[in-house]
Amino acid sequence: MRILRITLLIVGFGALAYAALAADQIKTTESIIFSSDAVVTTAQSATVNFYVGDNLSPVTSPIKSVYFVVSGVYTGNGTFAFTLDSDSGTLQTFTLPNVGGTPTPFEFIYNDPSGKISPTSAGEYTYTLDMTPSGVTVYGLAVKMVETHRYAPPVCIDGAPTNQKVKTTESMIGGSDAMVNSQQDYSFTLYIGDNLSPVTSPLKSLHFTASGVYTGSGTVTFTIDSDAGTQKQFTLPNVGSTPTPFEIEYQDPSGLINPASAGGYAYTLNVIPSGISIYGLGVKMTETHRYAPPACGGMPIYGDLISAIFDSTGDAQGAGYNSVTWKGILGGPGTNEGKVRFQFAASDSSSGPWTYIGGATCQIGDWFESAAPNTPIELHGDVDNDATCRDAWNNKRYFRYKIRVCSNDCTTAGVFTPTVDDVVVNWAP
Task: Please write the tens of the pLDDT for every residue from 104-152.
Answer: 999 999 999 999 999 999 889 999 999 999 999 999 999 999 999 998 8
Please check whether residues 283 and 382 belong to one and the same domain.
no
How far is C-alpha 69 from the geometric centre of its chain's CA atoms? Answer: 22
Burial-class residue 302 by CB neighbours within 10 Å (0-12, 13-18, 19+).
buried
Domain count, the chain: 3
Query: Residue 204: enclosing H or E segment and its boundaries?
Result: strand 203-224
- Please give the Cα distance from 372 to 370 (Å, whole number): 6
Shared-domain flag, residues 320 and 194: no
Statement to judge: residues 368 and 406 lie in one domain: yes
Mean pLDDT of all residues belonging to the chain: 87
The residue out of 227, 262, 295 marking a domain boundary is 295
- Domain boundary, last residue among 295, 327, 343: 295
> Do 245 and 347 fall into the same domain?
no
- Cβ atoms of 87 and 129 within 8 Å: the answer is no
- Has residue 45 been placed in a domain? yes
Please compute the mean of the pLDDT values over residues 339-353 and round it to a whole number.
Answer: 91
**291 with 303, same domain?**
no
Instruction: Please check whether residues 280 and 309 belong to one and the same domain.
Output: no
Average pLDDT over residues 21-46: 88
pLDDT of residue 127: 97
Confidence (pTM):
0.62
261 phi and psi angles, rounded to 5 deg = -150, 165
Distance (Å, rounded) from C-alpha 109 to C-alpha 69?
5
Domain boundary among 104, 124, 153: 153
* Domain match, 278 and 343 both: no
Q: Is 64 within the bounds of a domain?
A: yes
CATH number of the domain where residue 140 is located: 2.60.120
Domain enclosing residue 199, as ranges: 160-295
Residue 342 lies in a domain: yes
According to the model, what pLDDT value does residue 13 have?
Answer: 36
The answer to whether residue 384 scores a pLDDT higher than 70 is no
Residues 129 and 171 in one domain: no
Contact at 8 Å (CB) between 318 and 396? yes
Instruction: For residues 32 and 137, state if they share a domain.
Output: yes
Read off the DSSP letter of residue 153. P
Specify the pLDDT at position 3. Answer: 35
Reported as a pLDDT band with limits 50, 70 and 90, residue 274 is very high
* 351 located within any domain: yes
**Same domain? 137 vs 117:** yes
The answer to whether the CB of 117 falls within 8 A of the CB of 63 is yes
The reply to whether 2 falls in a domain is no
Q: Is residue 310 part of a domain?
A: yes
For the stretch 61-107, pLDDT in tens is 999 999 999 999 999 999 999 999 999 999 999 999 999 999 999 99
**Angle at alpha carbon of residue 318, lines to 314 and 322, rounded to 5°:** 115
Which amino acid is located at 366 in the chain? D
- Does 60 lie in the same domain as 11? no
The conformation of residue 4, written as its DSSP 8-state character, comes to: P
**30 and 45 belong to one structural domain:** yes
Cis peptide bond upstream of 154, omega within 30: no
Please check whether residue 1 lies inside any domain of the structure. Answer: no
Answer whether residue 357 is part of any domain: yes
Q: What is the pLDDT of residues 160-210, one digit of tens each?
A: 556 788 999 998 899 899 999 999 999 999 989 888 988 999 999 999 999
Q: Annotate 338-390 with DSSP letters as a single string.
A: SEEEEEEEEESSTT-----BBTTTTBTT--EEESSTT--EES---TTTHHHHH
